[in-house]
Structure 1
Amino acid sequence: MKTIKSLFILFTCFFCFNSNLFAQEHATQTAGSEHSFKHFRASAAMYHTYINTESAEGKKYLIVPSLGFDLEYWFNEKFGLGSHNDLELISFEVEKEGHTTLEREKPLLLTMDALWKPYKGLVLLLGPGVEFEKAENLFVVRGGIEYEFELKSSHWDISPTIFYDSRRHAYDTFSFGIGVGKRF
């Protein structure tokens, strides 16, 4: 697992500090004005993560506050690759079938997602990741949808987001949140 964590850190540093390697600007004409395509996007987000637990009393949901930081590289206006990173801010326990308890202490989730923008600001994403926690690391598959509302051509955006994360042999979560992003 240490190797996977190192690869995520290396990828993030590579794209943050070597942006000149891929710095290309695409100029397009839209309604008489020139528009410059920005390949990189960074955003910060706040989420509520819903965790389904089962116990003798029945099903219940834990609601865990989370912070996210995303770095994305867009190859063109339709396809990209993103590193989406979330930190759950509290410790919690997940019960499965009333007898198995999994304790999680402020886990950090790192995913590497393929990004597709099929229509205007709508972004669909899917990719693998790892949830790091001091007791046990878990493999995760993330699927999600967000919509980027650009703020007056300033390359800033607001994006409501929904993620579904499936942790292998453990538990699944839904996250609802909102982010603020900047293209550069």
Structure 2
Amino acid sequence: MKFKNSILLIILSLFFVAPLMAQEEMEEEGETKNRVLFSLGYTWIPQGAELEEIEVGDGFFVPAVGFDYFRKIHERWEIGMMWDWELDHYIVRSEELERERAMLFALVANYELTEKWAVFAGGGAEFEKHENLAIFRLGTEYAIEMQNNWEFVPALMFDFKKGYDTWSLSLGFCKKF
């Protein structure tokens, strides 16, 4: 229960602190403040296995799709919502926890280390018909600019959950507006 309260506190803090940081206006006129991203990737579950496997395997890759929205609130800061949908049915053997097409929602803060490279962190929940879990997400992404405010964005994410952790690699296309 303490973990869930911590996640809730992080999410609420982002909503209340972000507008205070946004008081400084961005200097460059016409700068895009919004971005949406669609991604395809794989999530690695180290304790995961196919349902039919009797013994603990060496882990399990789950295909996933993602959709993210970010809003720039300061020169280097964005807040956003990340949505990922796992497209498989598996079991976490160490917890005897069955997962079927889980959906993950996370509210994150994104900080641009450089013009192209950013790190993000935040919390949320993973919803699934067998059991819902609180999560804490950490990640990084690198934007490769294309034409007309489009970007190609590879990303690496770590999700910390009750009983097991996962990491994901994804490739996405982002539109800035």
Q: TM-score, normalised by structure 1?
A: 0.76
Cα distance in 2 between the residues matched to 1:123 and 1:83: 15
Counterparts in 2 of 1:1-184, with a 5 A limit?
Answer: 28=28, 36-53=30-47, 60-96=58-94, 100-152=95-147, 154-168=148-162, 170-184=163-177
3-state SS of the aligned residue for 1:60? coil
Cα distance in 2 between the residues matched to 1:77 and 1:88: 33
Deviant stretches of 4+, over 6 Å? none
| Alpha carbons 2:26, 2:75 under 8 Å: kept | no
The 1:75/1:54 distance shift into structure 2, 3 A limit, reads closer
Deviations 1:135-174 (A, max 9, x none): 110000000000111113x211000000000112x21111
| Alpha carbons 2:56, 2:93 under 8 Å: kept | no
Q: Percent identity?
A: 31
Cα distance in 2 between the residues matched to 1:38 and 1:75: 11
Larger-gyration structure (1/2): 1
Gaps of 5+ in 2: 16-21
Gaps of 5+ in 1: 12-21, 29-34
The 1:54/1:130 distance shift into structure 2, 3 A limit, reads closer
Cα distance, 1:36 vs structure 2: 2.4
| Alpha carbons 1:27, 1:36 under 8 Å: kept | no
| Alpha carbons 2:48, 2:91 under 8 Å: kept | no
Query: Which gives a bigger RCO, structure 1 or 2 (Cα 8 Å, sep 6+)?
Result: 2
| Alpha carbons 1:39, 1:76 under 8 Å: kept | no
Cα distance in 2 between the residues matched to 1:135 and 1:160: 31
Cα distance in 2 between the residues matched to 1:48 and 1:61: 12
Q: TM-score, normalised by structure 2?
A: 0.79
- Is the strand fraction higher in 1 or 2? 1
The 1:144/1:54 distance shift into structure 2, 3 A limit, reads closer
Cα distance in 2 between the residues matched to 1:67 and 1:106: 11
Cα distance, 1:57 vs structure 2: 5.5
Which residue identity is paired with 1:140?
I
